[in-house]
Structure 1
Amino acid sequence: MAEPGGGSGPREVAVASGLLREMNKRSLLERLFADGPATRPKLARAAGLSVPTVIAALGELAAAGLVREQGRSAPGGGRPAAVFEANAAAGHVLGIDIGRSWLHAAVADLTGTQLGTVDLRNVARTSAGLVDLIATAADEVAEAAGIEPIAITHTVIGSPGVYDPRRGRVLYAANLPGWQRVGLTEALAQRLNTSLTVDNDANLAAIGEHTYGAGRGHADFAYVHLGTGVGVGLLLDGRLYRGFTGAAGEAGYLPIGGEPASGRRGATRRGMLEERLGADAVVRYARDAGMPARVSAQEVFTAARAGSAPALQAVATEAGHLAQLIGGVAALLDPEIIVVGGGVGQNLDLLEPGIRAALAQLTPMSPRLVVAELGSSGVLRGAIATGVQRARELLFAATTEADRPARVATSTR
């Protein structure tokens, strides 16, 4: 507390000094990650700090293994200056994208550079089987990246549904058997022996497109994911919008499309709009138009590109229903662009004429539509981008503590 006369006591001065030192270290570390290697004088000028302050901060960061000397500069005259860089190998991130048919995994360093990838068939039909599959993917991708699993600082898993930390379970994941079991995320964190984030696949794809793809430079955009399921990721003022419970963007549950097609109720029930827009809906429209019974959604789009009349009819039906979602997003959020991705959404070139025709009948709004640049890797790239930020935070926090942060489940939204 303040001493008489309005001054500060030794403890308050020490605390303020410590906070300022940590702020300086964080600023310098973030600058090295963002701008690349730099000398101490250059960092001092860029950060508005004194050279002695920069020297002290870099010394602490180097002792923690977060920065390292890269070499020496070669100025036109005078003594060469030491050049420092962020140590990208100080930690590693594991990103996992869980779909109904496939599981994709990647390991990256602290700059987001991918060091190894693995793709496995999702043959799991129980929660225990899914945990085993994820653990196998983690081991295999770590080996592919040339690191030990213990070197992974943080893991991010993208999947259908919404993680509810209060209940410790994933909700609204009807397309992924076993994934909604209570306690599953805690079991995963223990099995992987890493801190863990579980997030919605459309949210992560939106982050991926914002960081690396079609959403770069746009503060307000929506990512519409069309695949096995349907979801929307929302970036508002450059930040992911999750809603009160984290379920913002669960567009598959919009009450559009008449009566629900499924008799299931509760957490296992598919949404009305998802019944009309998911990949199996494309197959259904194709069969109704006269295509063979055994056909996939991708085969429908391939046939449409070849001029098949039944396939083109199915695509037109899908586009008409998709226009209802697009029109709703435009009316509610008015985003700069709407990025469309996923296994079905990647065919935007075929879908857009029908979308535009239907929108003209539904709304005066004409939002700008662009296809996702990252393709099927959007969720995984978003998981890496999210994991890199969290891993840097954990490693930096360790520089202010006597021990490394506990590697426990920290599933976050």
Structure 2
Amino acid sequence: MTHPQAMPVARRRPAGLVPEPARWSRQRLRSNNEWLLLELLRTGGPSSRAQLARDTGLSKPTVSAALGSLETAGLVREAGTLAPDRGRTAVLYRADAGAGYVLGMDVGRARVRVAVADLAGRVVARRDVPNRGRSGPAVADALIATARDTLADAGLAEGGSAGCPGAAPADGVVRAVIGSPGVWDERLRAVRHAPHLPGWARPGLVDRISDGLGMQVQVANDANLAALGEYTYGAGAGSSVFAYLLVGTGVGVGLVRDGELWTGAHGAAGEIGMLQLPYLSGELTGRQEVRLEEVVAADAVVGEAWRLGLTSATTAEEVCEAARSGDPAARAAIDRQAQQLAFAVAVVAAVADPELVVLGGGLGRSADLLLPPLEEALHRTCALRPRVVASTLGEDAVLLGAVATALESARLEVFERRTASA
């Protein structure tokens, strides 16, 4: 897919606000001015001293001094000249996106995706490989190997600068974020509630990845990252309250309000796949209760198709292909799935009241089949009817959300490191 050269990031700190001690000082004022100019150049593109002075209200000497400091720190560089109709030719400046890099990773049952991006959010290297690991350590090692290969593709030293004292930020990765099913438990240093990744809950795996890459890594829930990715780059842009419904191997929801991710008291907000549904038990499994993800996720589509006689289909994608070809059992299975998804959307609507729900994950690729019966079922059963649309990022949502999350901290970290030593 095509990635923009520069992209806004959800939950970004307002331009001009650099965390410093509350007491006023000339150094703090200078840092604020430099951060303000750097953010303007990053979000607005190349600009001249005079234009920056007009945009910020700062004096031209102040702008010149700040740009000089930023240029010395390797954070901005000249980007050509502008010859006006009258007056002297103006030098244009731009933010140096290569002052640091971030590493985004997405771990799923079927695939491992890794991307390296510069500070403008431009993906400079990417790998997407099958996940053949059948144990927690094997998955961790596969992720390490894929990340190392991606860093090499980007021309970056292995391990980068994060966690490596003395390394320059431009030499490697400043922040690394992993998107994973489940909920990260900082106390245990492990991921909980990720049954579709065998052994992934084993303590020490994330530390194994950190050691293997030579940098600290942050772990976040995949649905939450997908929500941030879709808010930053996709269908959720501009929504004040929106939900991302990830439906694939499992099911989860990411909730974003005014650019802020809502994760709940223990980081488990949106884990609706764990909901127990006793009233569906006899109809589907014969058990006393069943989890929502057992009747909504991809395997449920295949199971429903089998119950209806389509035993040749082994994946949800094959069921969807059969439905497009007119197979009645496949169409009935899709309609059933849409009804279950409508229930999931109704749950989210009742709790969060989003204006928009984005359908993503593996099943999001079949939104053309799912959305019409889903909306019909939603209108029959739910008084709250948010608009439901397909993801525009597809299976890249989690990966781009990891990149966006890493960038949020990396930009400020690079600024503070560089200006402190300039």
**Superposition TM-score, scaled by structure 2 size:** 0.86
Q: Tell me the equivalent position of 1:9.
A: none
Kept in 2: contact 1:73–1:82 (CA 8 A): yes
Instruction: Please list, as runs of the form range in 1=range in 2, the aligned pairs for 1:138-287 lying within 5 A after superposition.
Output: 138-149=147-158, 150=160, 151-258=172-279, 272-287=291-306
**Are 1:45 and 2:66 counterparts?**
no
Would the aligned equivalents of 2:74 and 2:418 in 1 still touch at CA under 8 Å?
A: no
1:29 aligns with 2:48: no
- Give 1:342's aligned residue: 361
User: Which of the residues 311, 333, 358 maps onto 2:352?
Assistant: 333
Change (3 A) 1:400 1:79: closer
CA contact (8 A) 1:257 1:273 kept: no
- More displaced 10-residue stretch of structure 1: 208-217 or 186-195: 186-195
Contact between 1:257 and 1:276, CA under 8 Å: does it hold in 2?
Answer: no
Deviation for aligned residue 1:148:
2.9
SS for the counterpart of 1:276 is: helix
| Higher mean C-alpha deviation, range 204-213 or range 120-129 | 120-129
Which residue of the partner structure matches residue 324 of structure 2?
305
> Does the C-alpha gap of structure 1 residues 195 and 80 become closer, same or farther in structure 2, counting only changes over 3 Å?
farther
Kindly indicate whether the alpha-carbon contact (under 8 Å) linking 1:92 and 1:110 is maintained by their aligned counterparts in 2.
yes
Is residue 74 of structure 1 aligned with residue 95 of structure 2?
no
Report the counterpart of residue 399 of structure 1 in structure 2. Answer: 418
Whole-Å Cα distance in 2 between the matches of residues 94 and 305 of structure 1? 38
**1:382 equivalenced with 2:391 (yes/no):** no
Secondary structure at 2:310 match in 1: coil
Write the distance in 2 (CA, Å) between the matches of 1:352 and 1:298: 16
Q: What does residue 6 of structure 1 align with?
A: none
Counterpart CA distance in 1 for 2:407 and 2:120 is 7
For the residue of structure 1 that corresponds to 2:207, the secondary structure is: helix
Alpha carbons 1:153, 1:195 under 8 Å: kept: no
Q: Which residue of 1 aligns with 2:25?
A: 16
Q: Which amino acid aligns with 1:366?
A: R
Q: Aligned-pair distance for 1:349?
A: 2.1
Contact 2:121–2:404 (Cα < 8 Å) also in 1: yes
**Contact 2:359–2:390 at 8 Å: present in 1 too?**
yes
Which stretch has the larger CA shift, 124-133 or 216-225?
124-133
Deviation at 1:181, TM superposition (A): 1.7
Is the Cα contact below 8 Å between 2:41 and 2:95 reproduced in 1? yes
Distance 1:148 1:58 in 2: 29
> Mind listing any 5+ residue stretches in structure 1 that lack a counterpart?
1-11, 263-269, 404-413
Choose 81-90 or 136-145, whichever is displaced more. 136-145
Aligned residue-pair number: 386
**5+ residue gaps in structure 2?**
1-20, 161-171
* Offset of residue 327 of structure 1: 1.0
Give the secondary-structure state (helix, strand or coil) at the position aligned to 1:94.
strand
Distance in 1, matches of 2:129 and 2:327, equals 33
CA distance in 1, matches of 2:24, 2:212: 38
Partner SS for 2:217: strand
Tell me the distance in 2 between the aligned counterparts of 1:46 and 1:313: 58
Report SS of the residue matched to 1:178: coil
Residue number in structure 2 paired with 1:54: 63
Q: Decide whether the 8 Å contact of 2:136 with 2:197 is kept in 1.
A: no
Partner secondary structure for residue 179 of structure 2: strand
Corresponding letter in the other structure for 2:275 = L
Taking a change above 3 Å as real, the CA distance of residues 305 and 401 of structure 1, as seen in their structure-2 partners, is same
- The residue aligned with 2:102 is 93
Q: Render the CA deviation track for 1:62-118: whole Å, top value 9, x for unaligned.
A: 222111112222122322222111001111111111110110111111111111211
2:391 counterpart letter in structure 1: A
8 A Cα contact 1:259 1:272, kept in partner: no
Q: Normalising by structure 1, what TM-score?
A: 0.88
| Cα distance, 1:227 vs structure 2 | 0.3
Equivalent residue letter for 2:255:
L
- Paired residues of 2:226 and 2:254 also in contact (CA < 8 A): yes
Given that 1:155 and 1:196 are in contact with CA atoms closer than 8 Å, whether structure 2 keeps it comes out as: yes
1:104 aligns with 2:125: no
Aligned in 2, Cα 1:373/1:89: closer, same or farther, shift over 3 Å?
same
CA distance in 1 between counterparts of 2:346 and 2:213 reads: 42
Aligned-residue sequence identity (percent) comes to 44
Task: Work out the CA distance in 1 between the residues paired with 2:339 and 2:260.
Answer: 30
Deviation at 1:259, TM superposition (A): 7.3
d(CA) in 1 for partners of 2:384, 2:88: 63
Change (3 A) 1:26 1:271: farther
Residues 25 and 271 from structure 1, CA distance in 2 versus in 1: closer, same or farther, beyond 3 angstroms? farther
